[in-house]
């Protein structure tokens, strides 16, 4: 059969599973990517700031309240559960593959890609929320808890009488943070699984595709719940899903080959390590060969004078014999 593996896998020695574990190489790998972890901390700080500042208060007239009078409901998917769904759940799957392969490169880069996917999406989402300031579908009841609308006599803008924190949250409809975060975390998980189980191996196993669609379906249901709870318009959910999945795709491909690639089952760093390992072995072999050649040259330089001296003695003895023969 024809070997369909990439030249890198064909030419390089296979590293034994467990050769690069969290204990043996974890600190070394993390140190190499120290600047990436610092950027993650910076993203956390930016995200906190974006949640503290006041969003743009868009003009809302009395005639616009028709589409903003949906009832104020609790969240089907609570805020506290979102980090569990989009970070802890994917990380559990990543950790499971680490215990199977014992590859710290895969563990580190998958975790780093997941966190980047979620945090970049969160920063983009909240930055857009604050800039757009679109009212939520339940904005009327946030603004007027007693149901009595109050509007400015001149401008016609709303004069909210509700709690400031509730009103502030009411101006953050576009895009949906639940949806964008779900597609960022679970979308990354779908990419990760597709590479690990080799979905695109051209063998036609549809069951693998079904497994990949499960995280995406879960994320889609979370987005639909935001419309059902009247916290978002459908456009908010659609934009949030598109944003989260796009960022997840970029972050995954930053650390891993595409799933349809022959090397799609491991991160780029793993194959870079293999290449450096082979180059190191080749350099050691070349050095040994050069030392051996040099030693041979040195030995030959000592051997050749002795050989020449012996040849000279033999020649002299022959000449003496010839001369003695002529005398007699």
- The catalytic residues are 178, 232
CA dihedral 238, 240, 246, 251 (to 10 degrees): -160
CA dihedral sign, ordered 188, 42, 166, 156: negative
**In terms of Cα–Cα distance, which of 178, 201, 177 is closest to 55?**
177
User: What are φ and ψ of residue 103, in 5° steps?
Assistant: -115, 105
How far is residue 316's CA from residue 311's CA, in Å, rounded to a whole number?
Answer: 9
How far is residue 137's CA from residue 72's CA, in Å, rounded to a whole number?
Answer: 9
User: What are φ and ψ of residue 54, in 5° steps?
Assistant: -80, 130
């Amino acid at each position: 059969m024809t070997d369909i593996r990439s030249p890198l896998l064909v030419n390089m020695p296979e590293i034994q599973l467990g050769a690069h574990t969290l204990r043996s190489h974890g600190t070394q790998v993390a140190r190499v990517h120290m600047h990436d972890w610092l950027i993650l901390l910076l993203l956390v700080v930016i995200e906190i700031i974006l949640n503290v500042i006041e969003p743009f208060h868009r003009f809302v007239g009395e005639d616009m309240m028709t589409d903003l009078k949906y009832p104020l409901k609790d969240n089907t998917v609570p805020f506290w559960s979102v980090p569990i769904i989009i970070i802890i759940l994917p990380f559990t799957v990543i950790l499971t593959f680490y215990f199977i392969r014992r590859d710290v490169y895969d563990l580190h880069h998958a975790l780093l890609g997941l966190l980047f996917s979620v945090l970049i999406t969160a920063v983009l989402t909240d930055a857009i929320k604050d800039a757009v300031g679109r009212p939520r579908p339940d904005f009327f009841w946030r603004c007027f808890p007693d149901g009595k609308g109050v509007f400015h006599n001149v401008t016609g803008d709303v004069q909210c009488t509700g709690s400031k924190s509730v009103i502030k949250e009411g101006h953050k409809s576009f895009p949906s943070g639940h949806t964008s975060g779900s597609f960022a975390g679970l979308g990354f998980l779908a990419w990760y699984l597709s590479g690990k189980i080799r979905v695109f191996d051209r063998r036609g196993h549809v069951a693998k595709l079904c497994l990949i669609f499960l995280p995406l379906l879960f994320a889609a249901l979370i987005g639909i719940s935001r419309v059902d709870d009247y916290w978002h318009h459908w456009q908010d959910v659609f934009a949030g899903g598109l944003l989260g999945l796009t960022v997840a795709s970029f972050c995954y491909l930053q650390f891993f080959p595409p799933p349809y690639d022959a090397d799609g089952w491991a991160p780029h760093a793993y194959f870079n390590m293999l290449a450096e390992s082979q180059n190191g072995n080749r350099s050691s072999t070349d050095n040994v060969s050069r030392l051996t050649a040099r030693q041979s040259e040195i030995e030959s330089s000592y051997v050749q004078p002795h050989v020449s001296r012996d040849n000279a003695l033999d020649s002299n003895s022959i000449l003496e014999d010839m001369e003695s023969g002529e005398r007699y």
